[in-house]
């Protein structure tokens, strides 16, 4: 179960409640003074003055506490901001270093791949030239055999024609 929430009180409400307490005390003291009926007594005049001095001292002390707290808050906020900026700078530097390292590795891998591709393309070109040469040789061999076969066939035809004609 969650604890009950309390209303926030400001410095002015604290001052007002202290003033009410002081006023109630003064009223009580004033009633006590009238009961005694000692009007010329200077002690009655000093007590409200002491109460006023105490109230002023409390107000000053509260103001000092609030100012000190604000100062501590500003210092803490400054420290957190400085820490945040340092962390951001460190993180950005490490990210850039990591990216540069990755870029170097990727670049070297890319260069190796390009070199391998160039080698393979050169090999392909060499093989294509060799295939073209071989094809020319085969074509020349085919043409030579075709001529030889044609000569043989023509000779056989002549021989057959000549044998029939005798």
Q: What would the pLDDT profile of 141-166 be if each residue is shown by its tens digit?
A: 999 999 999 999 999 999 998 888 76
Q: Which two tokens stand for residue 17?
A: 């409640």
Q: Does the pTM of the predicted model rise above 0.75?
A: no
C-alpha 35/C-alpha 29 separation (Å) is 10
Question: Would the CA dihedral through 89, 92, 98, 104 be positive or negative?
Answer: negative
Q: Are residues 44 and 38 in contact, defined by beta-carbon separation less than 8 angstroms? A: yes
Question: What whole-number percentage of the chain has pLDDT above 70?
Answer: 70
C-alpha 27/C-alpha 33 separation (Å) is 10
State the pLDDT at residue 54.
Answer: 84
CA distances from 129 to 56, 60, 105, 132, 164 (A): 107, 101, 36, 5, 52
C-alpha 18/C-alpha 60 separation (Å) is 13
């Amino acid at each position: 179960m969650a604890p009950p929430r309390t209303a926030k009180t400001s410095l002015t409400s604290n001052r007002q409640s202290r003033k009410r307490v002081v006023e109630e005390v003064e009223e009580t003291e004033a009633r006590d003074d009238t009961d005694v009926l000692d009007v010329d007594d200077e002690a009655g005049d000093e007590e409200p003055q002491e109460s006023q001095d105490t109230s002023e001292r409390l107000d000053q002390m509260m103001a000092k506490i609030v100012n000190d707290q604000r100062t501590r808050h500003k210092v803490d906020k400054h420290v957190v901001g400085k820490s945040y900026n340092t962390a951001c700078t460190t993180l950005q530097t490490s990210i850039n270093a990591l990216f540069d390292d990755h870029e170097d590795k990727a670049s070297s891998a890319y260069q190796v791949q390009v070199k391998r591709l160039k080698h393979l393309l050169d090999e392909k070109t060499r093989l294509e030239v060799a295939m073209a040469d071989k094809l020319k040789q085969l074509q020349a061999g085919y043409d030579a055999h075709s001529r030889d076969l044609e000569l043989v066939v023509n000779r056989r035809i002549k021989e057959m024609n000549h044998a029939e004609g005798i």
